[in-house]
Amino acid sequence: MFQSTENERKLSLVLSEILEDVGVNMEIIMERRSAYMLRESIGTITRRSVGEIVSVFYLGSQSEGSTTGGLASDVDILNVDHNYNVIQDHDKGWLEWKQNKINLLMIQDENENVTPGYCFLQLIRSDEPRFETNIPNENYIRDRKGRILLNNYLRNWTHEDAERHGPSNAISGYEGYSNVDIVKALPCNSWPKSASSFLERHDVDIWSSSEIKFAASNGCFVVGVSSKISTYPDQEWRISTSLAERCLMYNRNITQFHCYVLMKIILKTFWNPKQENALSSFMCKTVMLHCIQNNTERNFWKKNNLVACLRFCLRKLYSFVQNDNCPHFFIPENNLIAGHFTPEEKSDLLSKINDTIKSNGRCLFQVKIDDIGRRLQDKLGFYRLRGNEIRDPFEACSSMLMFNKGKEISKCQLIVLAHIGISAEPKEKLVQLLSKLAFYSERGNKLEKLAINRIVPFIFSTLGLIMASSSIRENNPIQCEALKYISLGLNSDATSCRLKLASMFYCSGNMETTEFILRQTEIRYDRDVFEHVCNCWRYPFSGLSEKFKRRCREHSTVCQNQVISFCIRFTQNEENICPQELRYEMERSSERDKPNRSPEEKFWMDYAVVDPHPYLYFLQYKTYGHLQRLQDQRRALGNFERVVFTGKNFGHRETALNLLGQCMEQEKKPKEALFYYILSLRQRAKHNVGNVHICNLLSKYAS
């Protein structure tokens, strides 16, 4: 049954080689895992440090490494809210109950018509281990037995810009980005009873004892979605064993990864070509885990046997569909395909799977994803690929991972700024934040220490700049302590902290030092290597530069401060180190318009935010003007105009256009100024201070 012919062995080796070429190799898999684990730590530690009791997990294909560029897999984010505590067993003296938590009892009872693998959540009092009898808010209901149950659709969990897909808020991808599925989850510290059979298997030859121990010790989650056949669609919660699944995937060999990726490629190409949801990649993963469980032959999962491995998995999938039952790997009673397709759709799907099995791998010649089909023909001598058609997958992967780590840090910077707010004591809040991070660092592992090192420089620089702003407001010299803090954060990225430092000296009237910093920044600023990173909003993204990709590929130890430039944000606490032309951006919305901001806009729209490259030349223009260096001032203005129109991936082009318009007003060119303000409004019609600039300009020249 599992024997491969000579032709199959040759095809298997060629397929394995191609999959490694397109990114399914251990180097890229490990690169993906380390990057996403770091992002988890950065996100979790930042939120914990500002008082949120949450954990962030990146799950699924992107973090496992079981994807390719052509598959364009979603990014799955699990946000676990530790304000909740889910209990499985209350018969043993309520040992799992925790005071001052939102305690919920997991109800799994066939007599209640709860779908296997799902549960109800009954509310328990937070002050004593007794069931709650009163409905606390609109997220709860009283069922026919008088129990207070938590609805699976919590209003305060819904992202206004997202579409609800099952348990997740799905934020659709836009040009250059992956789709993002954000899942809110509640933690349960114990392994689900319905999954106890896995712990009892003791198949140490297949699953290591460490894998089994990990599953038992890390508990599970519940996520807010019911089964497709549920009698109670608003009350059922799905039991998630996602961390245990990730543990198993992290310990699979490369052939098993190749097999899984091929199943997903076939799924997307032949079975779900129009994005139907009859089958999912999670079902493919489940099938493969069952096959690994059922096949203990020592030499089966090998590169030269890949076609036979794929056929074995496809036959298992065919059997599951034929029997209308795809058992969840950890909770076998949970049928993953229940209610997923009609009898007609089932017949069509079985026919497609059967055709794929009969092809013995030949169907892969038709695959366009990652040019698999053409690559196969090239390797087998049927078609010759040109050299420029073959790209380095590690270059594309490592550069995008670096860019996305920058996005994670940028998002955490916004969380820190939101935590500070318009505070009377911002310095005290930042010092407390640094103290918490030092505490976490002392007790953290290597990854957590690395994550903290990515966050701390920004906090130091923000602390120093806020102190400097306070000194300028009071007409005092900038304190040495402030300069020390700024220097500690100077290398938080490639340019933005340096430009804020230059801005500080500019606003304090020290033009010579400002000019020196700007000149040094311009010398080191290679716009073809540096990438702008902004996480304020979902702006169009035109891809990474080839130099940036090569830099990330050639220098495995390259750090974010060598290639990443964050957008520059001035908060109200820093307004005195922000030039007046940019400070107008803090008033981009009227009081009437502020309630209409989207959730992501509420994070940053009260700040003055600008991209670093145009701001460099704007600040040069202003500085050279003060120094009466008119030729250098004209050069800076020319560079400013060029960058505004040719620069890529700017998150705040409308701000740069507003600054450029004010420069034109200074140059006594009102028509050009009006032109740039109008262009700014085309970039962002609402919440744009360009409206005010136009009114002021027309008023000035109408009188």
**Tens-digit pLDDT profile for residues 497-523:** 999 999 999 999 999 999 999 999 999
Specify the range with the lowest mean pLDDT, choosing from 154-168, 440-454, 577-591: 154-168
Give the model confidence (pLDDT) of 662-682 as tens digits.
Answer: 999 999 999 999 999 999 999
- Does this model's pTM top 0.85? My answer is yes
Total residues found in the chain within this entry? 703
Residues 316 and 440 in one domain: no
Last residue of one domain, picked from the residues 366, 390, 414: 390
Residue 180 resides in a domain: yes
**pLDDT at res. 555:** 62
Whole-number Å distance between alpha carbons of 568 and 571: 10
Q: What is the DSSP letter of 577?
A: G
Which of the four pLDDT bands, split at 50, 70 and 90, describes residue 159?
very low
Residue 605 resides in a domain: no
CB-neighbour burial class of residue 391 (10 A; exposed 0-12, middle 13-18, buried 19+): middle
Q: Are 223 and 111 in contact (CB under 8 A)?
A: no
SS3 at position 322: helix
Split into its structural domains, the chain has a count of: 4
Residues 283 and 329 in one domain: yes
Residues 322 and 412 in one domain: no
Q: What percent of the chain lies above the pLDDT cut of 90?
A: 69
Whole-number Å distance between alpha carbons of 647 and 636: 15
Q: What is the mean pLDDT of residues 540-558?
A: 79
Indicate if the pLDDT at residue 458 is higher than 70.
Answer: yes
Residue 271 resides in a domain: yes
Give whole-number Cα distances, 629 to 501, 617, 633, in Å. Answer: 21, 14, 6
Q: What is the DSSP letter of 475?
A: T
Residues 589 and 574 in one domain: no
Residue 661 resides in a domain: yes
Give whole-number Cα distances, 565 to 526, 586, 653, in Å. Answer: 11, 22, 15
Residue 46 resides in a domain: no
Helix (H) or strand (E) holding 121: strand 118-124
| Higher-pLDDT residue of 677, 113 | 677
Q: Are 415 and 47 in contact (CB under 8 A)?
A: yes
**pLDDT at res. 428:** 93
Q: What is the rounded average pLDDT for all residues in the chain?
A: 89
Residues 246 and 316 in one domain: no
Q: Which two tokens stand for residue 560?
A: 């974010």
Residues 571 and 637 in one domain: no
Whole-number Å distance between alpha carbons of 430 and 407: 22
**pLDDT at res. 590:** 84
Q: Cβ neighbours of residue 17 under 8 Å, at least 6 residues apart?
A: 379
Indicate if the pLDDT at residue 165 is higher than 80.
Answer: no
**pLDDT at res. 593:** 86
Residue 41 resides in a domain: no
Indicate if the pLDDT at residue 161 is higher than 50.
Answer: no
Give the model confidence (pLDDT) of 403-424 as tens digits.
Answer: 999 999 999 999 999 999 866 7
| Higher-pLDDT residue of 113, 98 | 98
Specify the range with the lowest mean pLDDT, choosing from 59-63, 68-72, 227-231, 393-397: 393-397
Q: Are 645 and 551 in contact (CB under 8 A)?
A: no
Q: What is the mean pLDDT of residues 486-501?
A: 93
User: E strands of 224-382, at which residues?
Assistant: 237-240
Q: Which two tokens stand for residue 129?
A: 């281990």
| Higher-pLDDT residue of 322, 703 | 322
Residues 78 and 194 in one domain: yes
User: E strands of 45-137, at which residues?
Assistant: 54-59, 75-81, 84-87, 102-107, 118-124
| Higher-pLDDT residue of 556, 75 | 75
**pLDDT at res. 390:** 60
Last residue of one domain, picked from the residues 232, 250, 268: 250
Phi, psi of 550 (to 5 degrees): -65, -40
Indicate if the pLDDT at residue 172 is higher than 70.
Answer: no
**pLDDT at res. 164:** 47
Start-to-end CA distance of the chain, whole Å, equals: 91
Query: CA 354, 356, 361: angle at the middle one, nearest 5?
Result: 140
Indicate if the pLDDT at residue 179 is higher than 80.
Answer: no
Residues 352 and 472 in one domain: no
β-strand partners of 345: none
Residues 509 and 638 in one domain: no
**pLDDT at res. 173:** 47
CATH number, domain containing residue 19: 1.10.1410.40
**pLDDT at res. 216:** 77
| Higher-pLDDT residue of 547, 609 | 609
- Our measurement of the distance from residue 560's CA atom to the centroid of its chain's CA atoms, rounded to an integer in Å, reads 17
Which of the four pLDDT bands, split at 50, 70 and 90, describes residue 210?
confident
Residues 399 and 383 in one domain: no
The radius of gyration of the chain's CA atoms, rounded to the nearest angstrom, is 29
Residue 623 resides in a domain: yes
Specify the range with the lowest mean pLDDT, choosing from 155-169, 204-218, 390-404: 155-169
Q: What is the mean pLDDT of residues 27-50?
A: 95
Compute how many other C-beta atoms are within 10 angstroms of the C-beta atom of residue 586.
Answer: 18
Q: What is the DSSP letter of 520?
A: H
Residues 173 and 156 in one domain: yes
Residue 40 resides in a domain: no
Q: What is the mean pLDDT of residues 298-309?
A: 92
CATH number, domain containing residue 587: 1.25.40
Whole-number Å distance between alpha carbons of 690 and 656: 11
Last residue of one domain, picked from the residues 578, 602, 629: 578
> What sections of 444-491 are H helices per DSSP?
446-473, 480-488
Q: What is the DSSP letter of 700?
A: H
Residues 236 and 258 in one domain: no
**pLDDT at res. 113:** 84
Whole-number Å distance between alpha carbons of 207 and 205: 6
Whole-number Å distance between alpha carbons of 154 and 134: 18
Give the domain range for residue 498.
392-578
